Structure 1
Amino acid sequence: MSSALTDLFPLPIVQAPMAGGISVPQLAAAVCEAGGLGFLAAGYKTADGMYQEIKQLRSLTGRPFGVNVFLPHPDLADPAAVDVYAHQLAGEATWYETELGDPESGRDDGFEAKLVVLRDNPVPVVSFHFGVPDREVVDTLHRVGTFVLAAATTPEEARAVERAGADGVIAQGIEAGGHQGTHRDTPETDGSGLGLLSLVAQVREAVDIPVVAAGGLMRGGQIAAVLAAGAAAAQLGTAFLPTHESGAHALHKQALTNPLFVRTELTRAFTGRPARGLVNRFLREHGPYAPAAYPDVHHLTAPLRKAAAKAGDPQGMALWAGQGHRMAREMPAGRLVEVLAGELAAARAALAGGAR
């Protein structure tokens, strides 16, 4: 399915925005130059930090790119539950010789300031995570020529994205690494998401806007499958995490194929919101007790995660990864796009041959 949005990039391959310093300008530029759509992640950055990365990316490529923004999170956390979790993490702080972070460090991730930057310095594509932007926000971005996407994990959420006037919906399957883009974050919804192929099919029947499929995709054959199911493009995150240009910590890259880390799990242990990561000691010990309290828990554990990385201890790091992590390939990002495109073409040819 072609649209004005997907006509921006020659190949139906989108590099997922991975917050925390992974989706750096060099990675996004390499993907764009190879024919995909590269993304910057504005999450956990200041508005000026986002702006500086946009300027750097523009110096590296003249091709269209995207910027992902976290929507402000409603204050639903129980302070008492956060305090209990902080007491539980006291031993971690002692072990890593650091202090716990302040859970009251802010809720909106500088959302309004980032919108000002994106309005005054328009970028080709902006995507939103953790909900649906107001129609006024979408209209503001449209007026400056920006395409708007938002993540959804159910057909109902996809309809909300369409009603807001977005140009496309990112259908995120339960297989996806990192934070789930659920619009309603409650303990009752933990682990109840749809698999990607089922989600894409249902979302295609629910909305008329283009669908970008995301979740566990690592090979061109999988991209062919989601395109056949009705997606306009495929978004890959974990596949790009170990590339040379990725800003991921070396221990994070190595962990994807390290036999010590054999599976992933959705957890609130590191941030208070469901996110899929490799099962390590921290996740096993604290995941069952972490409250539904984002971004309070994120702020609380940030110094622990930083100290664990500095100490070279992956057992205390948030090792975000999708279910296909064992299929990770280390190579330059541009080369990975070329490989994926070749695999996609081969898979499509095989499907066409079988249909004759």
Structure 2
Amino acid sequence: MIDLHARRLPVVQAPMAGGPTTPELVAAVSNLGALGTLAGGYLSAEAFEEKLSATRGLTDEPFAVNLFAPEATAPDVPAAERFRERLLPLAERLGVEVPEVRVPGDDTFFEKLATLEASPVPLVTFTFGMPDHAVVKRLRAVGTAVGITVASVEDAVLAFEVEPEVLIVQGPSAGGHRANFDQAALPDQLSLDQLLARILPLARVARASIIATGGIDTPERARTLLDAGADAVALGTAFLTVHESGTRPPHREALLAGTRETVVTRAFSGRNARGLRNRFIDEFDLVAPASYPIVHFLTKSIRDASSDGPEYLNLWAGENYRSCRDETAEELLGRFAEAL
């Protein structure tokens, strides 16, 4: 189990699946007295086990693991078929193939769960939904606390049904994917402060700790949220440009340049996510369906083929990304330690 108040620094490194979250980053954050989080999403069962082992080899401190919960809402398969047709001309220009639409799997969810039973961590958090009671029971049986990410009051109420020890409350300024349980739903536009004010009383009754996240760019902003009742804050975008991250160079450069606006789009994955506006978003945002994770796999070859430039990459970024710096995790957390 995890006690957020036992950490020297009430800061959590948010999970950033797809490459940015390396074992080196997770270990560095935990070694500095905060809480690192290993992102399990998109990894094969074998790769997940390797990264878990690598992280353990770099730190003796507690760290968390994040998994994608199985989708509660089925993706729109016919719409994904139509979207695939629209991608073909771009793929041809880039010299890559767009895979056929296939029914998505479960992101090797149960294989990863079995690994975490055999090699427990203090906290496992879930994004895109909530685990069922059986999954929660399995984790608690090996001493693991459960955290659920929510982006609306309605989802928070649902999450309390499994009595999580931790609730991660995500505001609309967050970079990357919104954590809505229903992928087809319009994102809640309540600010992080408004969400926190509404959810905090429920969490206190349920005896759940609160991690506030989304657009936290300065130590002063973090202090405000802690004073409002959060037990810890999670930083995501700020870690994308630290030296220990695995962020692709064009993504890193675009963040540090600070010249692009952020927008929320389904274009890259089929789920709403905030990133830096680029050509791909301009061309495909209006026609992208709520078909996660099908769209994620349809666009993967295009993203991989354009990895040396920013125009067709998913440049995830929070609204306040211009605070990103070219620095180490120690330098980033050092600024927050001074204020917290």
Partner of 1:240: 239
**Distance in 1 (alpha carbons) for counterparts of 2:319 and 2:32:** 25
Partner of 2:252: 253
Deviations 1:147-196 (A, max 9, x none): 1101011122122222212101000001111111101222xx33433211
Structure 1 position 205 matched with structure 2 position 201: yes
Give the alignment's TM-score, normalised by structure 2: 0.96
**Distance in 2 (alpha carbons) for counterparts of 1:6 and 1:163:** 22
**Distance in 2 (alpha carbons) for counterparts of 1:260 and 1:320:** 14
**Distance in 1 (alpha carbons) for counterparts of 2:170 and 2:105:** 23
Matching residue within 173, 177, 180 for 2:178: 180
Give the alignment's TM-score, normalised by structure 1: 0.91
**Distance in 2 (alpha carbons) for counterparts of 1:339 and 1:259:** 20
8 Å contact kept, 1:8–1:64: no
Partner of 1:302: 300
Do the aligned partners of residues 129 and 105 (structure 1) sit closer, same or farther apart at CA in structure 2, a change above 3 Å counting?
A: same
Structure 1 position 265 matched with structure 2 position 263: yes
Q: Superposition pairs for residues 306-321 of structure 1, below 5 Å?
A: 306-309=304-307, 312-321=308-317
Deviations 1:256-285 (A, max 9, x none): 132541x11111000001011111110111
8 Å contact kept, 1:14–1:235: yes
1:74 positional shift: 4.3
Q: Superposition pairs for residues 17-56 of structure 1, below 5 Å?
A: 17-56=15-54
Structure 1 position 196 matched with structure 2 position 195: no
8 Å contact kept, 2:153–2:199: yes
Which consecutive residues of structure 1, in runs of 5 or more, have no partner in the other structure?
346-356
Q: Counterpart amino acid of 2:90? A: E
Do the aligned partners of residues 212 and 303 (structure 1) sit closer, same or farther apart at CA in structure 2, a change above 3 Å counting?
A: same
Which segments of structure 1 move beyond 4 Å, counting only runs of 4 or more? none
8 Å contact kept, 2:5–2:231: no
Partner of 2:78: 80
8 Å contact kept, 2:258–2:322: no
1:8 positional shift: 4.4
**Distance in 2 (alpha carbons) for counterparts of 1:150 and 1:288:** 30
Q: Counterpart amino acid of 1:90? A: L
**Distance in 1 (alpha carbons) for counterparts of 2:55 and 2:210:** 26
8 Å contact kept, 1:20–1:43: yes
8 Å contact kept, 2:2–2:123: no
**Distance in 2 (alpha carbons) for counterparts of 1:185 and 1:227:** 29
Secondary structure of the structure 2 residue equivalent to 1:81? helix
1:224 positional shift: 0.4
Structure 1 position 128 matched with structure 2 position 126: yes
Do the aligned partners of residues 136 and 79 (structure 1) sit closer, same or farther apart at CA in structure 2, a change above 3 Å counting?
A: closer
**Distance in 2 (alpha carbons) for counterparts of 1:104 and 1:227:** 44
Do the aligned partners of residues 100 and 64 (structure 1) sit closer, same or farther apart at CA in structure 2, a change above 3 Å counting?
A: same
8 Å contact kept, 2:2–2:122: no
**Percent identity between the aligned chains?**
38
Question: What's the C-alpha RMSD, in Å, of the aligned pairs?
Answer: 1.5
8 Å contact kept, 1:244–1:332: yes
The size of the alignment, in residue pairs, is: 337
Q: Counterpart amino acid of 1:190? A: L
Of the structure 1 ranges 167-176 and 327-336, higher mean CA displacement relative to structure 2 is found in: 327-336
